[in-house]
């Protein structure tokens, strides 16, 4: 017996004794009684539906394993998002499986709250409604809900109509200034479709189209097509905004203006175009001249702080683009002058011949159907007067999204019955008398039309969520509740009456008979329906409708901002991660850093460096931000680039609802500082000046990246446009001299997996970060650990900047395991947990790992992540997956335990699956068959994965690109990831 | 010296005890009690039913799959419908309840064992699951158990396949050498 066998026996006998002592219950395997059609355990099934995290309405396909959805991907056939998703779309899964999700209907009164049965709740509501309807007081019932542009919206209209109730569509960001301007200029009450991809130059006045504006995934895709060097067009993008937002950071030219001067600037640009006669031929010059009558170039230059030469340059660059595209939005364009600004933008597009080409009325956006903000103001007043007796809220959280000054909270107290259909315990739902939790969109039937000519169809991608203890999240679709309550209020014989459908699914199918007649009259309906379910909806091309421009008087005055004359203008801007705050309780979104600041888990006030110096502020110092309407306290983030006359706070944090475990008491809500009075452009997010006072307290922010200065390390590289063109012409640069290595050259018999990342296409949106977390069961660690540098992201998006700190060139670099050919991590592992596979992966074998962390210390890219705490065991204090979050875990990936190292695997489970499918057909894996999670979701398709040994593969071609380089090439690690340099445009002098 | 003797004595005592334990449990039908006394010996042995008739997912999924209750009832609505054990089956079916079978074969959770790839490569079920067609009650002692190790040491035949990593790798290497197959030996194929 050798030593090894001896220890084996001693070890196992100890184990046997321990095991015998426990007497574990046997594990059971439960078969289906009757198996569902086409569902095989262990084989994913895909269901198409629509993402409802914002009204952009992207198509989604949900990966269902053993009856639970484990991953969302974009629907490749969908015209809006073409297979990709944004960060919020990826994170929708944690809304479905949110541990704070309501478990069933709740009734609340003065005696407290209790759960009730659905029948009881519906009967209670129906009786109250019936009383009002009988008394002819149906008008005192108000339905307020998020934008529903499909069958549910029509049902709500019909329901409100039958009961005589009022109905409002409430979206906190409704872009009504654009709609208003369209009405004034073109006589069309609509928000047009913007064809960014067809423009040669984009002139954006604050429109954050890479973050939240209208349809961020669609516009990010379109933007790359017009802008990326890769696609040949390499158009120009000019962005006017006081703050260096993510969108501004992607601009070739970022013009920093005084907050609220977008209107005068746009008008001055129009005037320059007219004065220089560079407008498009055939436009009505007299009309334009009349509109630009009050424009004054020098005054605009003075007010905006943008030099008159720059304004002239902008005008020329825009006019010569043919077609160009001017857009406006974001917080800066929701000031008091927002309508004027949008009118000027419409006229700019008209003057340069873009209307009908890049600005298309016809395929109008669904946002044009949202009610104006004035509706909410009127509702609040009616509630305060006691004129509303039943208020039904469908996914609306006005207590969070309306300025408190408006008095919605007090008005709500006057409403005898408040009903919320939300399935999250948000601020307004917390105050509702009756909570009837809706099913999550991923569990629901429905449809949504993001623009004319596109109708996405939603189907349940799984049954109702049941946690591991067997408790069902007892939710019911709003449509079902409305039909059932409606029938009780207005009884009718079976199959008759306004609510004759037993379920909302039946109603939906009935509605789709009409859609079928419109879109495809020749196809039998059953076939049409089945195809629509499979495809994810139905769409057809909708051409631009010709529009006639009309004159509109413009004053050319900047927006007025109330408050202390010495104060700074407040920019309260929609959060890229939380939108209007609805995503704040999703732990993935909390942990994902904001790309520009790299802050996670908190909110902050961005203070210009000048002011910070004056107040003696350091980053993390608590600051009291006060406006005439309220005050909030937030840690400071010192910014070199923010306009000295502004401070900025993202919207989305600052939740107060008791049961939001991830969002409660995190940061502050800047909406509290606004007045909320209705302006012609809706809720004016830019309307107050604030004063800052240092409180003396500190709350350091959790910032993932310590510096944005590359310090000459050339981690993220760039090349000028002219140089890039020349490189391209000359063809591939010769193979770089390989750095010497003491290890023998590796042989890869069949495949060598590699990746190419085009930094010119990456916009830093963080969607890949969350896609990776979802695919690979990466735990969420919380603020303290992130601050300590112990976050677990396998993939992070670094932001590097060059040039003047006030006006830097920004470079975004997705950093993940480089799968080095000569990997520093491998030889230092004492137990062979980190090793090189025959296909070029740096594999990490969790069950071998003993946690020495040598590999981590030896990795120059800092991409290895160590499980410092026990994130995987339910009894641990750091458990990252409270019920029902474990349902989301990918069954193809091990959930790592305490004390082991982990990192990017190049989605090895997807490689194995693709190889398995190829072997079924006795062929090698084809190029493009393996798509990693990060690559799959990337809205700009900056990431390409494949076999480097196949010289014809896309990745191999890109790796030989003249723009290609390796990060820290000089270390001789020979990474499998090639980055393609960002292509920068020559800066304008003047 | 005394330490060496001490270790030797301890080892021998453990060896003897464990050997006794292993031998005394050998040969018993030690499988756990199942909710229905299903016999593989009757189905796969006597009637020579194809394994994949019931475990139909083996050729297309990671899991071999347990037959649905309705699949059992496909035959047993008529066949042997009067037997008490089959009536238990009908009971589950009529109550629309799954049968809570006790799991016998299991690899640790950090191991991915795809049935599909093995079926495709022509590996018989018995290679890993043992002579299942002879078992009235299925039993297996898998993993690093004392019995397996001891019997291995003293050169006696195992009671069942151990399903340990060494055993998997041995088969993969042997097959690759003998049949020129390409059974993977990469750690990350099973551990990821």
pLDDT tens-place string over residues A104-127: 999 999 999 999 999 999 999 999
Interchain contact A837–B (C-beta under 8 A): yes
Long-range contacts of A502-506 (CB under 8 A, 24+ apart): A503/A479, A504/A151, A504/A152, A504/A155, A504/A445, A504/A446, A504/A477, A504/A478, A504/A479, A504/A480, A505/A445
Determine the pLDDT at residue A8: 42
* Per-residue 3-state assignment (H helix, E strand, C coil) for A62-100: EEEECCEEEEEEECCCCCCCCCCCCHHHHHCHHHHCCCC
Number of Cβ within 10 Å of residue A860's Cβ equals 13
CA distance A190 to A209: 18
Residue A31 and residue B99: Cβ atoms within 8 Å? yes
Confidence (pLDDT) at A4 = 44
Report if residue A956 sits inside a domain: yes
Whether residue A780 sits in one domain with residue A699: no
pLDDT surpasses 70 at A843? yes
Same domain membership, residue A835 and residue A698: no
Does residue B60 sit at the A interface (CB-CB below 8 Å)? Answer: yes
Q: What does the alpha-carbon distance between residue A627 and residue A673 come to, in Å, rounded to a whole number? A: 6
Residue of A nearest to B67 (CA): A31
Q: Does A634 lie in the same domain as A595?
A: yes
pTM: 0.93
Residue where one domain finishes, among candidates A703, A734, A769: A703
Nearest to A449 by CA among A10, A107, A828, A50: A50
Mind telling me how many Å the CA of B178 is from chain A's nearest CA? 20
CB contacts of A18 in chain B (<8 Å) are none
Is A30–B100 a contact, with Cβ atoms under 8 angstroms apart? Answer: yes
Residue A106 covered by a domain: no
A912 near B CB under 8 A = yes
- Judging contacts by C-beta atoms under 8 Å, the chain A residues touching residue B112 are 892, 912
- Cβ under 8 Å to A: B residues 155-184: none
Q: What is the pLDDT of residues B49-66, one digit of tens each?
A: 999 999 999 999 999 999
Q: Looking at residues A728-746, what average pLDDT do you find? A: 73
Say if residue A524's pLDDT is above 60: yes
Indicate the angle between helix axes B69-76 and B84-94, nearest 10 degrees.
130
Chain B residues whose CB is inside 8 A of the A845 CB are 187-188, 191
CB-based contact (8 Å) between A26 and chain B? yes
Q: Which of A188-192, A773-777, B10-14 has the lowest mean pLDDT?
A: B10-14
Residue B47, min C-alpha distance to chain A (Å): 23
Angular region, A974: left φ>0, alpha ψ -120 to 50, beta rest:
left
A37 touches chain B (CB under 8 A): no
Contacts with B143 from chain A: Cβ below 8 Å? none
Task: Identify whether residues A786 and A919 lie together within a single domain.
Answer: yes
Note the pLDDT of residue B6: 62
**A983 CB neighbour count, 10 Å cutoff:** 25
**pLDDT tens column, A132-165:** 999 999 999 999 999 999 999 999 999 999 999 9
A595 to A90, A650, A783, B111: CA distances (angstroms): 17, 13, 16, 36
Structure tokens at A324: 């160009």
Query: Would you say residue A187 has pLDDT above 50?
Result: yes
Interface membership of A878 toward B (CB under 8 Å) = no
Q: Is A928 on the interface with B (CB under 8 A)?
A: no
The answer to whether A23 faces chain B, any CB pair under 8 Å, is no
- Asked if pLDDT for residue B30 goes beyond 70, the answer is no
Tokens of B13: 């005592």
Neighbours of A524 (CB within 10 A): 10
Task: Judge whether B2 is closer than 8 Å to chain A, CB to CB.
Answer: no
Quick one: pLDDT at residue A913? 96
Tell me which chain B residues have a C-beta less than 8 angstroms from the C-beta of A15. Answer: 144
d(CA A206, CA A573): 10
Contact A270, A284 (CB under 8 A): no
With CB atoms and an 8 Å threshold, state whether A919 touches B71.
Answer: no
For A663-692, how does the pLDDT look when each residue is reduced to its tens digit (9 = 90+)?
Answer: 999 999 999 999 887 777 788 899 999 999
Q: Which of A317-326, A366-375, B158-167, B177-186 has the lowest mean pLDDT?
A: B158-167
pLDDT in tens, A368-380: 999 999 999 999 9
Q: How many CB pairs under 8 A join A and B?
A: 135
Reduced 3-state DSSP string for A89-130: HHHCHHHHCCCCCCCCCEEEECCEEEECCHHHHHHHHHHHHH
Q: Place A14 in a pLDDT band, splitting at 50, 70 and 90.
A: very low
Instruction: Check pLDDT > 90 for residue A557.
Output: no
A834: helix, strand or coil: strand
Give residues with Cβ within 8 angstroms of A149, minimum separation 6. A55, A57, A366, A369, A448, A449, A450
For residue A663, the domain's CATH number is 2.40.40.20
Residues 91-130 of A with CB under 8 A from B: none
For range A37-48, the mean pLDDT? 90
Q: Which helix (H) or strand (E) holds A7?
A: helix A3-22
Is the pLDDT reported for residue A601 higher than 60? yes
Chain B CB contacts of A842 under 8 Å are none
Structural element, H or E, at residue A719 = strand A718-720
Tokens of A9: 């026996």
Does residue B145 sit at the A interface (CB-CB below 8 Å)? yes
* A31, A835, A843 member nearest B98 (Cβ): A31
Q: Whole-number mean pLDDT of chain A?
A: 93
- Would A84 be classed as within a structural domain? no
Mutate to test the interface with B, among A3, A16, A23, A31 (most CBs of B within 10 A): A31
The Cα–Cα gap between B113 and B109 comes to 10
Whether B128 contacts chain A with CB within 8 A: no
> How far is it, in rounded angstroms, from Cα A358 to Cα A575?
27
Confidence of residue A20 (pLDDT cuts 50, 70, 90): very low
Rounded Cα distance, A738 and A748, in Å: 17
The reply to whether A697 and A723 lie within a common domain is: no
**Confidence class of residue A526 from pLDDT cuts 50, 70 and 90?**
very high
CA distance B16 to chain A (A): 11
- Cβ contact, residue pair B192, A894, below 8 Å: yes
Going by C-beta distance under 8 Å and a sequence separation of 6 or more, which residues neighbour residue A161?
Answer: none
> Taking a C-beta distance cutoff of 8 angstroms, is the pair A126, A488 a contact?
yes
Predicted confidence (pLDDT) per residue in A257-278, tens digit: 999 999 999 999 999 999 999 9
> Looking at chain B, which residue has its C-alpha nearest residue A842?
B188
* A875 and A971 part of one domain: yes
CA distance A464 to chain B (A): 19
The CA distance from A56 to A52, in Å, is 8
A837: chain B residues, CB-CB within 8 Å: 186-188
CATH number, domain at A320?
Answer: 3.40.228.10
Nearest CA in chain B to A838: B186
Question: Is A842 inside a domain boundary?
Answer: yes
Share of chain B above pLDDT 70, in %: 78
CA A189 – CA A176 distance, rounded (Å): 10
Token pair belonging to A587:
């732990």
Judgement on whether residues A857 and A738 belong to the same structural domain of the protein: yes
Same domain, A189 and A229: yes
A17 interface with B at CB cutoff 8 Å: no
CA dihedral A543, A548, A549, A551 (to 10 degrees): -160
Is A287 within the bounds of a domain? Answer: yes
Residue B13 has pLDDT above 70, yes or no: no
CA distance A5 to chain B (A): 9
Contact B188 A843 (CB under 8 A): yes
Kindly state whether B192 is in contact with chain A, defined as any CB-CB distance less than 8 angstroms.
yes
User: Nearest chain B Cα to A1, which residue?
Assistant: B153
CA pair distance A288, A346, nearest whole angstrom: 11
Shortest CA gap B148–chain A (Å): 10
CB of B88 within 8 Å of a chain A CB? The answer is: no
Q: Return the SS3 of A322.
A: coil
List, in order, residues 6 or more apart from A913 with CB less than 8 Å away: A892
The nearest CA of chain B is from the CA of A843 a distance in Å of 6
Mark which of A703, A734, A763 sits at the end of a domain: A703
- Smallest CA–CA distance from B100 into chain A, residue: A30
A572: left (phi over 0), alpha (psi -120 to 50) or beta: beta
Among candidate residues A366, A340, A404, the one with its CA nearest the CA of residue A680: A340
Provide the CB-side half-sphere exposure for A875 (13 A, CA).
0
Other CB atoms within 10 Å distance of the CB of residue A287: 17
Is A979 a member of any domain? yes
How much is the average pLDDT of A508-523? 96
Is B120 touching A (CB cutoff 8 A)?
yes
A823 and A918 co-located in one domain: yes
The CA distance from A113 to A108, in Å, is: 4
A837 → closest Cβ in B62, B70, B186: B186
> Does A67 have pLDDT greater than 50?
yes
B48 in reach of chain A (CB within 8 A): no
C-alpha–C-alpha distance, residues A649 and A631, integer Å: 12
Q: Note whether B103 contacts A: Cβ–Cβ < 8 A.
A: yes
Write down the pLDDT at residue B5. Answer: 64
pLDDT at A2 exceeding the cut of 90: no
Alpha carbon distance A191, A361 (integer Å): 8
Using the Cα atoms of residue A605, residue A611, residue A617 and residue A618 in order, give the sign of their dihedral: positive
**How far is residue A641's CA from residue A765's CA, in Å, rounded to a whole number?**
20
- Look at A29 and B15 and tell me if their CB atoms are within 8 Å: no
Is A9 among the domain residues? no
Q: Give percent of chain A above pLDDT 70.
A: 97
A667, A777: one domain: no
Q: Among A703, A738, A765, give the residue marking a domain's end.
A: A703
User: Nearest CB to A9: which of B15, B69, B98?
Assistant: B15
For chain A, percent of residues with pLDDT exceeding 90: 87
> B64-103, pLDDT tens digit by residue?
999 999 999 999 999 999 999 999 999 999 999 999 999 9
A36–chain B Cβ distance below 8 A for any pair:
no
Q: Which two tokens stand for residue B137?
A: 């009650």
Interface contact flag, A43 B60, Cβ < 8 Å: yes
* Residue B31 exposed, middle or buried by CB count within 10 Å (0-12, 13-18, 19+): middle
The answer to whether B112 contacts chain A (CB < 8 Å) is yes
Q: Which residue of A has its CA nearest to B110?
A: A894
Same domain? A664 vs A800 = no
CA distance B171 to chain A (A): 20
Give pLDDT, residue A551. Answer: 79
pLDDT value of residue A553: 77
Same domain, A663 and A790: no
Q: What are phi and psi of A118, to 5 degrees?
A: -60, -45
Confidence band, pLDDT 50/70/90 cuts, at residue A848: very high
The total number of structural domains that make up chain A: 3
Three-state secondary structure readout of chain B: CHHHHHHHHHHHHHHHHHHHHHHHHCCCCCCCCCCCCCCHHHHHHHCCCCHHHHCHHHHCCCCCCCCCHHHHHHHHCCCCCCCHHHHHHHHHHHCCCCCCEECCCCCCCCCCCCHHHHHHCCCCHHHHHCCHHHCCCCCCCCCCCHHHHHHHHCCCCCCCCCCCHHHHHHHHHHHHHHHCCCCCCCHHHHCC
CA distance B35 to chain A (A): 10
Q: How many CB atoms lie within 10 A of CB A387?
A: 16
Measured N-to-C along each axis, helices A297-304 and A308-319 cross at an angle, to the nearest 10 degrees, of 110
Question: What's the pLDDT band for B159 if we cut at 50, 70, 90?
Answer: low
Q: Do A905 and B93 touch (CB under 8 A)?
A: no
* Nearest C-alpha neighbor of A938 from the set A215, A63, A224, A84: A84
Residue A338 has pLDDT above 60, yes or no: yes
Which residue range is the domain that position A692 belongs to? 568-703
CATH code of the domain in which A951 resides: 3.30.70.20
A257 domain residue, yes or no: yes
Alpha-carbon gap: B176 to the closest alpha carbon of chain A (Å): 16
Give the contacts of A343 (CB within 8 A, at least 6 positions apart). A181, A184, A185, A291, A552, A554
């Amino acid at each position: 017996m050798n030593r090894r066998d001896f220890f084996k026996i001693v070890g196992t006998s100890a184990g046997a004794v321990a095991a015998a002592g426990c007497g574990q219950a046997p594990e059971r395997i439960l078969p289906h009684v009757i198996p569902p059609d086409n569902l095989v355990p262990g084989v994913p099934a895909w269901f198409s539906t629509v993402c409802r995290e914002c009204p952009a309405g992207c198509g989604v396909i949900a990966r269902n394993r053993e009856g639970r959805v484990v991953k969302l991907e974009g629907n490749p056939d969908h015209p809006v998002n073409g297979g990709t998703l944004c960060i919020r779309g990826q994170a929708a899964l944690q809304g479905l499986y949110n541990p704070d999700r309501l478990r069933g209907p709740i009734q609340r009164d003065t005696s407290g709250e209790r759960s009730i049965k659905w029948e009881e709740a519906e009967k209670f509501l129906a009786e109250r409604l019936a009383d009002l309807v009988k008394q002819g007081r149906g008008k005192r019932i108000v339905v307020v809900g998020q934008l529903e542009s499909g069958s549910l919206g029509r049902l709500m209209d019909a329901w409100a109509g039958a009961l005589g109730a009022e109905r409002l569509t409430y979206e906190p960001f409704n872009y009504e200034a654009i709609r208003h301007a369209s009405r004034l200029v073109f006589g069309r009450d609509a928000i047009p479709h913007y064809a960014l991809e067809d423009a040669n130059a984009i002139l954006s006045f604050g429109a954050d189209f890479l973050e939240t504006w209208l349809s961020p995934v669609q516009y990010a895709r379109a933007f790359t097509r017009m802008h990326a060097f890769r696609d040949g067009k390499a158009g120009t993008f000019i962005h006017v905004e006081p703050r260096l937002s993510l969108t501004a950071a992607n601009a070739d030219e970022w013009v920093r203006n005084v907050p609220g001067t977008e209107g005068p600037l746009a008008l001055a640009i129009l005037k320059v175009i007219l004065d220089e006669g560079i407008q498009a031929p055939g436009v009505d010059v007299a009309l334009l001249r009349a509109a630009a009558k009050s424009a004054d170039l020098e005054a605009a230059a003075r007010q905006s702080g943008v030099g008159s030469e720059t304004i002239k340059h902008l005008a020329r660059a825009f006019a010569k683009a043919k077609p160009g595209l001017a857009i406006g939005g974001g917080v800066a364009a929701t000031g008091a002058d927002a309508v004027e600004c949008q009118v000027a933008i419409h006229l700019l597009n008209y003057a340069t011949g873009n209307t009908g080409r890049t600005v298309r009325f016809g395929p109008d956006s669904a946002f044009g159907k949202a009610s104006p903000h004035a509706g909410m103001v009127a509702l609040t007043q009616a509630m305060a007067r006691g004129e509303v007796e039943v208020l039904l809220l469908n996914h609306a959280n006005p207590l969070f999204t309306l300025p408190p000054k408006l008095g919605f909270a007090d008005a709500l107290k006057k409403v005898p019955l408040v009903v919320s259909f939300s399935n999250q315990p948000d601020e307004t739902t917390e105050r509702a008398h009756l909570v009837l939790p809706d099913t999550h969109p991923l569990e629901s039937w429905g449809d949504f039309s993001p623009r004319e000519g596109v109708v996405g169809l939603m189907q349940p991608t799984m049954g109702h969520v049941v946690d591991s203890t067997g408790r069902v999240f007892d939710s019911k679709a709003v449509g079902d509740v409305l039909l059932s309550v409606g029938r009780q209020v207005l009884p009718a014989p079976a199959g008759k009456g306004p609510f004759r459908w037993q379920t909302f699914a039946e109603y939906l199918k009935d509605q789709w008979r009409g859609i079928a007649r419109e879109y495809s009259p020749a196809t039998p309906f059953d076939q049409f329906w089945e195809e629509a379910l499979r495809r994810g909806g139905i769409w057809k091309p909708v051409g631009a409708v010709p529009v006639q421009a009309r004159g509109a008087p413009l004053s050319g005055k900047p927006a007025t901002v109330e408050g202390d004359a010495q104060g700074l203008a407040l920019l309260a801007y929609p959060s890229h991660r939380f939108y209007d705050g609805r995503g704040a309780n999703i732990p993935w979104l909390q942990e994902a850093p904001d790309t520009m600041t790299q802050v996670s888990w908190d909110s902050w006030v961005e203070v210009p460096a000048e002011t910070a110096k004056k107040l003696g502020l350091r980053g993390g110092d608590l600051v009291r931000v006060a406006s005439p309407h309220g005050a909030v306290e937030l840690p400071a983030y010192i910014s070199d680039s923010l306009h000295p006359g502004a401070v900025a706070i993202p919207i989305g944090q600052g939740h107060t609802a008791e049961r939001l475990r991830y969002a409660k008491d995190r940061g502050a809500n800047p909406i509290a500082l606004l007045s909320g009075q209705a302006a012609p452009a809706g809720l004016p997010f830019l309307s107050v000046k604030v004063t800052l006072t240092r409180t003396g307290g500190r709350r350091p922010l959790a910032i993932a990246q310590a510096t944005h200065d590359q310090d000459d390390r050339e981690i993220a590289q760039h090349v000028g446009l002219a140089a890039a063109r020349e490189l391209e012409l000359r063809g591939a640069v010769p193979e770089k001299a390989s750095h010497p290595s003491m290890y023998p050259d590796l042989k890869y018999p069949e495949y060598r997996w590699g990746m190419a990342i085009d930094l010119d296409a990456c916009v830093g949106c963080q969607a890949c970060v969350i896609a990776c977390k979802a695919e690979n069961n990466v735990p969420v660690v919380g603020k303290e650990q992130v601050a300590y540098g112990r976050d677990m992201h396998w993939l992070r998006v670094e932001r590097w900047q060059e040039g003047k700190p006030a006006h830097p060139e920004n470079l975004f670099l997705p950093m993940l395991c480089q799968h080095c050919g000569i990997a520093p991590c491998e030889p230092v592992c004492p137990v062979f947990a980190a090793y090189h596979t025959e296909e070029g992966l740096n594999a990490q074998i969790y069950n071998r790992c003993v946690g020495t962390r040598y590999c981590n210390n030896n990795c120059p890219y800092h991409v290895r992540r160590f499980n410092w705490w026990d994130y995987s065991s339910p009894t641990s204090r750091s458990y990252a997956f409270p019920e029902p979050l474990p349902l989301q875990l990918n069954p193809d990936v091990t959930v790592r335990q305490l004390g082991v190292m982990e990192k990017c695997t190049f989605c090895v489970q997807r490689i194995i699956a693709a190889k398995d499918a190829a072997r079924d057909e006795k062929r090698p894996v084809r190029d493009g068959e393996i798509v990693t999670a990060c690559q799959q979701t990337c809205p700009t398709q900056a990431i390409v994965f494949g076999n480097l040994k196949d010289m014809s593969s896309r990745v191999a071609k890109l790796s030989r690109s003249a723009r290609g380089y390796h990060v820290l090439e000089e270390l001789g690690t020979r990474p499998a990831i090639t980055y393609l340099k960002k292509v920068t445009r020559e800066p304008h002098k003047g | 010296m005394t330490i060496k003797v001490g270790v030797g004595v301890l080892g021998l005592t453990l060896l003897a005890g464990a050997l006794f334990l292993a031998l005394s449990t050998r040969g018993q039908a030690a499988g756990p009690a199942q909710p229905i006394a299903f016999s593989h010996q009757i189905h796969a042995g006597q009637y020579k039913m194809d394994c994949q008739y019931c475990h139909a997912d083996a050729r297309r999924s990671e899991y071999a799959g347990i037959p649905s209750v309705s699949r059992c009832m496909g035959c047993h609505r008529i066949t042997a419908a009067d037997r008490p054990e089959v009536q238990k089956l009908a009971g589950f079916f009529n109550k629309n309840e799954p049968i809570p079978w006790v799991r016998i074969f299991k690899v640790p959770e950090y191991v991915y064992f795809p049935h599909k790839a093995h079926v495709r490569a022509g590996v018989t079920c018995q290679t890993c699951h043992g002579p299942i067609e002879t078992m009235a009650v299925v039993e297996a002692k898998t993993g690093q158990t004392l019995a397996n190790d001891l019997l291995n040491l003293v050169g006696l035949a195992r009671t069942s396949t151990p399903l340990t990593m060494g055993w998997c790798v041995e088969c993969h290497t042997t097959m690759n050498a003998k049949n020129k197959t390409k059974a993977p030996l990469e750690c990350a194929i099973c551990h990821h």
